[in-house]
Structure 1
Amino acid sequence: MAKKKISYKNAVEEIESIIDKIENGEPDVDELSELVKRAAGLIKDCKEKLKSTEENLSETLEELE
C-alpha cells in the first residue's frame, strides 16, 4: 500500500501536537515509542519537501536568468 502524502503544514501541526503530548501528557513507554517514531517520520517527510522545494525554486530561478 502506498504511503499517504501529508502536507507540510499538516505535518508540522502534527509534530507540534506530538511534542505537546510528550511534554504534558506523560505517555507510557509504548505510546512514547510510537509518538517518537511518528514524529521522526514526519520530520523526514518535511525535510524531503523542503529539499524538493528548494531544488524546484533554484531550477525556476536559473531559467529566469
Structure 2
Amino acid sequence: MNKKQLNFEKSLKKLEEIVSEIENADPDLDKALALFAEGAELIKSCLAKLNETKKKIEVIISSGKTEFFKE
C-alpha cells in the first residue's frame, strides 16, 4: 500500500488499526517491527499533511479573507 496515496483520514484510521493490532494481537517481534515501521511512515505522512494545511490556513488568514470572522 502506498502511504502517499492515502488521504489524512484514511492514514489516521490505518494508524489506529496498527496500534490496535500491536496492543491486542500480540504479534511476533518481526510483525511488530513491520507494523511499527508502517505506523512511523503514516505518522510522518499525517504530520506533513497537517503542516501543509496549517500553512494554507495561515495564508488565508494573513490575506484578509477571513473578514467574516470579525464583528
Compute the TM-score of the two structures, normalised by the length of structure 2: 0.83
Percent identity at matched positions?
A: 30
Q: Show CA shifts across 1:13-65 (max 9, x none).
A: 00100011001100011111100000000000000000000000100111116
Q: Distance in 1 between matches of 2:50 and 2:5?
A: 14
Measured on the aligned residues, the alpha-carbon RMSD in Å equals 1.7
Number of the residue aligned with 2:7: 7
Residue 4 of structure 2 contacts residue 45 of structure 2 at CA under 8 Å; is this kept in 1?
no
State how many pairs are aligned.
Answer: 64
In structure 2, list runs of 5 or more residues that go unmatched.
66-71
Instruction: Choose 1 or 2 for highest CA Rg.
Output: 2
Compute the TM-score of the two structures, normalised by the length of structure 1: 0.90
